[in-house]
């Protein structure tokens, strides 16, 4: 009899546990939604098109953000974080802009914005230049009027100026040190400047973290890359006295492409016949042509172990001139290195017309020609 009673009690307790689990599961989606808002803080897109973080409304107010629509089944608030000169943020997806952006800055001054880690698991940031318009460099490619200087990171970032809208960079934190974005403008210039940088924080174990040595990092199978301050401009290039942008001095950085599974090589080609002008572009280099190796002793790009499409090895991995030849490399990782010296005028070399480059890349499927992989 006792064992029958015990079995009945066990059955009743099991039924209660099952019923409790059923009730909990029925409530699960609602409570899970709140959990996402409070703990996961997932990325969301606001009504204004900007990326925010899914917070509770109280969290958003405490973060000094503004709500731009709902998230997590409208339980949470898509909180957009914006900061300006003299301010800081340790929150993911923070937008740093000039005061009263998009209104242009016409006066001189110094604007400092500070990025701090979200947490101890953060190793890197990505800075997207959603808008970045400063004065052009001078005749030797130096940012002597306006500049963007980024300090505090684990690696060097070149001094930037001119038109860099649409560019991006990756930068590792140096331990727990903060990273400063310092934009300086010169008074008395009759030009308008503005800037709006989106800063994304990247965890140490995140698969989208850029490898060491990669200032720029692309993950698509194909795309277009440009040097800093490349493209159309309404400013006068002081070296040529014409409208247009200008190559910047003292640069040494890597442009990396994440190798996709099933793809063994990468092809680099010019965006147009005039989209590569990197050293030795004076009238003496006629007809226009690429140069290699020792002929490139000032400014150049480096592509490891390049081959021409017909399978012939290129003369060198160092390329400059006023034309870019289509080349293919099987070397891993996929990286193009950019190097410029400290002077872009014709007084020390034929660099007066340097504008930089626009190049297309295309990853190539593994085929029978992988026998020449290096």
pLDDT-flagged residues of the chain (< 70) = 1-40, 232-244, 280-285, 344-352, 368-374
Parallel/antiparallel/unpaired status of strands 242-243 and 236-237: antiparallel
Comparing CA positions, the residue from 162, 191, 63 lying closest to residue 55 is 63
Bridge partners (DSSP) listed for residue 115: 89, 179
Longest dimension (CA), the chain: 109
Q: How many CB atoms lie within 10 A of CB 141?
A: 29
| Rounded CA separation 256/259 (Å) | 9
Q: What pLDDT, on the 0 to 100 scale, is given for residue 281?
A: 56
Structural domains of the chain, with CATH = 43-80 (no CATH), 84-208 (2.60.120.290), 210-366 (2.60.120.290)
Q: What pLDDT, on the 0 to 100 scale, is given for residue 82?
A: 96
SS3 17: helix
Q: What pLDDT, on the 0 to 100 scale, is given for residue 167?
A: 97
Bridge partners (DSSP) listed for residue 327: 268
Burial 263-278 (b: 16+ CB within 10 A, else e): bebbbbbbbeeebbbb
The sign of the dihedral angle between the CA atoms of 232, 236, 240, 243 is positive
Token digits of residue 107: 């006066």
Burial 147-173 (b: 16+ CB within 10 A, else e): bbbbebbeeebbbbbbbbeebbbbbbb
Q: What pLDDT, on the 0 to 100 scale, is given for residue 238?
A: 52
Rg (CA), the chain: 27
Token digits of residue 245: 């942008």
| Rounded CA separation 325/359 (Å) | 10
Which residues neighbour 135 within 8 Å (Cβ) at sequence distance 6 or greater?
143, 145, 146, 161, 162, 185, 186, 189, 191, 193, 235
| Rounded CA separation 168/140 (Å) | 24
């Amino acid at each position: 009899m006792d064992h029958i009673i015990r079995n009945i009690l066990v059955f009743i307790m099991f039924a209660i546990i099952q019923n409790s689990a059923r009730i909990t599961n029925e409530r699960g989606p609602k409570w899970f939604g709140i959990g996402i808002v409070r703990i996961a803080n997932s990325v969301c897109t606001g009504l204004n098109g900007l990326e925010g973080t899914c917070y509770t409304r109280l969290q958003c107010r405490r973060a000094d953000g503004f709500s731009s629509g709902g998230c997590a089944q409208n339980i949470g608030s898509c909180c957009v974080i914006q900061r300006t000169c003299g301010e800081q943020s340790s929150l993911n997806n923070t937008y740093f802009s000039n005061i009263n952006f998009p209104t242009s800055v016409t006066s001189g001054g110094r604007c400092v914005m500070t990025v701090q880690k979200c947490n101890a698991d953060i190793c890197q940031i990505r800075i997207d230049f959603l808008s970045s318009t400063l004065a052009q460099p001078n005749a030797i490619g130096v940012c002597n009027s306006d500049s963007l200087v980024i300090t505090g990171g684990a690696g060097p970032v070149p001094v930037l100026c001119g038109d860099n809208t649409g560019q991006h960079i990756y930068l590792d934190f140096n331990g727990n040190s903060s990273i400063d974005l310092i934009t300086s403008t010169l008074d008395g210039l009759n030009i308008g400047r503005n800037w709006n940088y989106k800063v994304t924080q990247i965890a140490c174990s995140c698969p989208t973290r850029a490898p060491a040595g990669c200032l720029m990092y692309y993950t698509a199978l194909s795309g277009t890359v440009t040097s800093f301050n490349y493209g159309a401009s309404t400013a006068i290039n002081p070296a040529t006295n014409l409208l247009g942008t200008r190559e910047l001095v003292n640069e040494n950085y890597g442009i990396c492409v994440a190798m996709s599974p099933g793809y063994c090589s990468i092809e680099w080609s010019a965006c147009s016949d005039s989209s590569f002008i990197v050293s030795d572009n004076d009238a003496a280099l006629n007809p226009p042509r690429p140069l290699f190796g020792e002929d490139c002793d000032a400014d150049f790009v480096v592509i490891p172990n390049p081959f021409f499409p017909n399978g012939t090895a290129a003369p060198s991995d160092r390329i400059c001139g006023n034309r870019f030849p289509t080349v293919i490399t099987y070397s891993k990782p996929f990286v193009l290195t950019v190097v410029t010296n400290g002077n872009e005028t014709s007084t020390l070399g034929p660099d007066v017309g340097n504008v930089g480059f626009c190049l297309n890349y295309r990853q190539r499927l593994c085929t029978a020609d992988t026998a020449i992989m290096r």
